[in-house]
Amino acid sequence: MTPYEIFGLIVGVIVLLATAWWLSLSLRRHRHHVWHDFAKRWNFSLQETPEIWELTGTYGNRRVRITTAAGSSDAEGGVAEVLVAVELHNVPAELIAEGTPGSLGTVVQAIDSEANTISLGNDDFDRAVRCVCPHEAEALHYWTSNRQWVLLDLLEKVPTDRLAVRERGLEAEFRSVLSDLEQLEQIVGMLTSTAPQLDGGPIVAKVED
């Protein structure tokens, strides 16, 4: 190779590396912008670390937490993981009793009658409903076998493909989460319709310090 060809190759490599760095930075800034817009709209608190970004707050009288890996994305540009956790207070036992028709137990292999949190998880490998016991040390996970959004599929309120992220990219992913949250209060309300409201009524949106 001539000196000019070697020089051109070096310049090309530098340009490619610079372009990759710029795209990565742009992606991170875009995600940061989306998260802040999300937090502002829903009056949620936003916690940022180099590894994890997390939104926490209340929606109706439900505690909601949304987390994602701060800097990672899959090869097609989608976020690596989005988790929406909803706290269910005073859930009627018949709704979570294992094997009861119309209950989560008909889909989930096992479920704890004292579980107070149901999480809708979305990643590139599975779709699942997770039950978490009240105490962190005693947390138990229950994964579905049919890889469906079981909570919504069970209620037949929203088609399951409504929640599937068919378009890749951060904006599409977060629009899906936003849409999910807009449906969340009605869905969870159906689960807890026979249970008393906290403090006798719904709690207005507020941010946890």
CA distance 128 to 75: 22
CA distance 78 to 81: 9
CA distance 90 to 87: 10
Q: Is 22 helix (H, G, I), strand (E, B) or coil?
A: helix
Handedness of CA 103, 104, 109, 114 (dihedral sign): negative
CA distance 182 to 193: 18
Structure tokens, 35: 């998260």
Work out the angle between the directed axes of helices 170-191 and 3-42 (0-180°, nearest 10): 30
Angle at 52 between CA 48 and CA 57, to 5 degrees: 65
Per-residue pLDDT of the chain in tens (209 residues, 90 and over written 9)? 688 788 888 888 898 888 877 776 666 666 566 667 667 766 778 787 766 667 677 655 555 566 555 444 433 333 333 444 433 333 444 444 333 333 333 223 233 334 444 443 333 222 233 332 222 222 222 222 222 223 322 222 223 333 333 333 334 444 454 455 555 444 444 433 333 333 333 322 323 33
**Is the whole-model pTM more than 0.85?**
no
Q: Are 84 and 67 in contact (CB under 8 A)?
A: no
